[in-house]
Amino acid sequence: MEGRRALPWKRPDVYQTISVERGAIAVVTLNRPSVLNALSAALLGELSDAMRALDAEPEIRCVILTGSGEKAFAAGADIAEFKQIQNAAGAADFARRGQDVLGVIERMRVPVIAAVNGFALGGGCELAMACDIRIAGENARFGQPEVNLGLIPGYGGTQRTARLVGRGMTMYLCLTGEMIDAEEALRIGLVQRVVPPASLLEEARRIAGLIASKAPLAIAAAKRAIRDGENVPLDQGLALEALHFAVVTDSRDFHEGTSAFLEKRKAAFTGR
């Protein structure tokens, strides 16, 4: 949480464009089904607030992010708001605001699982990519169709896609604007699991439960080591890994985990 302001928790009924289910496994649902959960400025603001608040709660072990309705996770940015952009400076500010929100999600202490139901296009695909793990329903569709509007991705689509699936596939998606289905997304490594739509949240909760059962400090350290090390030379990444490894061995959970293993019992992790 260093460098970030911990915002007070808002009750779920305060939000207008999202809903939040609290618990060790929290569920955040984009809630604008009439416009396929388009990412308006209001939704992005509420999403940022909710994610910051959840990340500040020590009881939270994992967050699932999904969309309401059966058609879409998020079909992209709110096109009506594009028309309000007056000039290049305004466009750059528009992109940076979205990037900042996705950065909040990417930097969270706890892992975030995207449960992608239906369309994840443009900003919706970018939002899913900011999450740590992506589970897709068989009906999910992914794409970066901004070129069809005379635009390019602005919330990280040219950058995170390349880091996840490589330069060639990123060029294909961003230059053609073509959608791919869930099985193709699985094949190229954009998602980690594909399940029937009716089983999507159940599978996301199963995976979240596995994560929640582990030592919280180790989970946070592993996430940070992976995120911080993926874009630096290998020797620097190994140094980061060793640093995080050393830090977690100074925790009570490390001693609990090793003792439980030797005593052939289930570990009781406390996050300390």
The C-alpha angle with vertex 118 and arms to 116 and 122, in degrees rounded to 5, equals: 80
3-state secondary structure of 263: coil
Q: At what angle do helices 88-106 and 123-130 cross, to 10 degrees?
A: 30
Active site residue 138: no
Instruction: Check residue 195 and report its DSSP letter.
Output: E
Active site residue 59: no
**Contacts with 158 (C-beta within 8 Å, 6 or more apart), sequence order:** 152, 170, 174
Integer Cα distance of 198 and 134 in angstroms: 16
Q: Which of 2, 146, 178, 241 is catalytic?
A: 146
Calpha distance 43→233 (Å, rounded): 37
From the list 57, 126, 184, 241, the catalytic residue is 126
The answer to whether 161 touches 191, Cβ cutoff 8 Å, is no
> Among 93, 15, 16, which Cα is nearest to 54's?
15
Any idea which residues carry the catalytic annotation? 126, 146
